[in-house]
């Protein structure tokens, strides 16, 4: 029997690719350094409607104590945010391709902000021109199906917030919408969340920082019992397989 231990996860972190982050701050090397300093074992890079900085962050974390999961935060046609967490950069890229095909508009850097693509050394490679802050033409069911079709995990983003969460936008979670987890923000404690949202979905509740600033990283995190920090182990923890499980949400001491 393999040995299990408790790992700290922050599964919702943005980078300079998201126009709502502090310009020049959320670069791969800086994000990884902050994650290590906060004692995190696993993070997920989930920029708005794009995964273009995920690979660079994975490379920046190579050889460190932090495992980086590639992902993106997809906005459905109902303006619901959904995290897609993927086994590899390849699946995240395929999801991004589908999302880009269903986005419209061009980013206005002066009005909305810069969307900066960087490498693992934090050097600027490109400025993304797609309007990443916009909504796709995919409804919420299509978004979840896209994520699952690529072997990913679909997490309903910040369901306790008044904007861009499934409850604020739809008012309920449909019974036939198969999320793998529900995410709450640092503003809701896990006991309250369990009572309020526990019957909404037969899946675990996690908490993540939704970090847009360096100081946000690890401000809250989820603890999971796993044998290692891998995507497969994360999936098993979500499903509660082989004593793996999501344990609880924590705030740093």
Question: Tell me, what's the pLDDT at 199?
Answer: 60
The angle at the Cα of 100, spanning 95 to 105, to the nearest 5 degrees, equals 155
Q: Whose CA is closest to 185, among 213, 156, 214, 228?
A: 156
Q: What's the domain range around 223?
A: 5-250
The structural domain count of the chain equals 1
Sign, CA dihedral 98-58-235-40, equals negative
Q: Whose CA is closest to 74, among 11, 159, 132, 118?
A: 132
Q: Report the distance separating Cα 221 and Cα 62, nearest Å.
A: 22
| CATH code assigned at 77 | 3.20.20.140
Tell me, letter by letter, the H, E, C secondary structure of 184-202: ECCCCCHHHHHHHHCCCCC
If you search the block for the tokens 């299509």, which residue do you land on? 142
Across the strands, what pairs with 63?
none
pLDDT single digits (tens) 164-185? 999 899 988 898 999 999 999 8
CB 167, CB 81: distance < 8 Å: no
> Could you tell me the mean pLDDT of each successive run of 10 residues in the chain, 253 residues long?
91 97 92 98 98 98 98 98 98 98 96 97 97 97 98 96 90 92 82 63 88 96 97 97 84 51
Sign, CA dihedral 100-104-105-111, equals negative
Backbone phi and psi for residue 40, each to the nearest 5 degrees, phi listed first = -80, 145
């Amino acid at each position: 029997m393999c040995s299990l231990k408790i790992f700290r996860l922050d599964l919702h972190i943005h980078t300079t690719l998201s126009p709502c982050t502090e310009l020049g701050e959320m670069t791969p090397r800086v994000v990884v350094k902050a994650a290590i300093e906060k004692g995190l074992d696993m993070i997920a890079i989930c920029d708005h409607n794009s995964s273009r900085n995920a690979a660079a962050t994975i490379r920046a974390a190579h050889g460190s104590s932090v495992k980086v999961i590639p992902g993106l935060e997809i906005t459905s046609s109902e303006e619901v945010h959904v995290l897609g967490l993927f086994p590899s950069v390849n699946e995240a890229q395929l999801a991004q391709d589908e999302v880009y095909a269903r986005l419209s508009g061009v980013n206005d850097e002066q009005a909305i902000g810069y969307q900066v693509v960087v490498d693992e050394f934090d050097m600027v490679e490109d400025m993304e021109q797609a309007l990443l802050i916009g909504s796709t033409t995919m409804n919420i069911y299509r978004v979840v199906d896209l994520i699952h079709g690529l072997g990913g995990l679909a997490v309903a983003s910040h369901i306790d917030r008044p904007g861009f969460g499934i409850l604020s936008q739809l008012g309920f979670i449909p019974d036939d919408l198969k999320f793998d987890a529900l995410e709450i923000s640092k503003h809701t404690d896990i006991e309250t969340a369990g009572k309020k949202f526990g019957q909404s979905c037969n899946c675990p509740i996690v908490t993540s920082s939704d970090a847009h600033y360096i100081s946000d990283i690890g401000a809250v995190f989820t603890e999971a019992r796993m044998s290692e920090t891998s995507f497969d182990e994360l999936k098993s923890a979500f499903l509660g397989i082989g004593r793996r499980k999501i344990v609880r949400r924590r705030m740093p001491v």
